[in-house]
Amino acid sequence: MQRFIAFLFMSWFLALPHGAESQHQLTVTSKADDGALSSVDYTTEDLLSMEAVTVSTSNDFVDAETKFVGPLLRDLFSSEALTSDSAIKLTALNDYSTVIPGAEVLDYDVIVAVLADGKPMSIRDKGPYWIIYPMTQNPELRDPKYNDRLIWQLSHIELVRE
């Protein structure tokens, strides 16, 4: 009987969402021309349901070339909203933030990485979301200024109109 109860408990436990990992959200905000603020929250499942792009690259924060998968950052905005004159403010869970030019997001396949080598990234391993530039494919991106834009533990993206 104890084994049966233990089996039921384990079955129930395994059916629960997988802890905090399933609760991560990425908030994307932008202002319309009339000043109205729009905000969309994406879960990991939402991001994985978008058209995925794979970027195999190395950078200063990984030991070897890694295969990252996620949607293009530019796909999180309407084509009218994101222009080469835009700026995108990225904020991490620890409130670190950086700003990247819209032109880079339009010129390069910058992604919001959800998977690294086929696995979700934990907060401890730079997840749940990490901005990744295709550095290996574009040697000009191997400049230290781009390392500052590889923001991990991403929690908020804001389109700033210039």
**Which of the following CATH numbers is that of domain 21-160: 1.20.1260.10, 3.90.420.10, 3.40.190.10, 2.40.160.60?**
3.90.420.10
Nearest Cα to Cα of residue 90 among 80, 107, 104, 79 = 104
Q: Phi/psi zone of residue 61: left (φ > 0), alpha (ψ -120 to 50 degrees), beta?
A: alpha
The model's pLDDT over 70-116, given as tens digits with 9 standing for 90+, comes to: 999 999 998 788 999 999 999 999 999 999 999 999 999 999 999 99
Is 152's pLDDT higher than 80? yes
Question: Taking a C-beta distance cutoff of 8 angstroms, is the pair 105, 89 a contact?
Answer: no
Looking at residue 162, its pLDDT comes to 61
Question: Taking a C-beta distance cutoff of 8 angstroms, is the pair 91, 26 a contact?
Answer: no
Looking at residue 35, its pLDDT comes to 74
Q: Which residue(s) pair with 27 in the sheet?
A: 41, 156
Q: Which residue(s) pair with 39 in the sheet?
A: 29
24 compared with 42, residue with greater pLDDT:
42
Q: Where in the chain are the domains?
A: 21-160
Distance CA(134)–CA(111), nearest Å, equals: 9
- DSSP symbols for 104-156: HHHHS--EEE-EETTEEPPGGGT-S-EEE--TTT-GGG-SHHHHTT---SEEE
Distance of CA 86 to the CA centre of its chain: 19
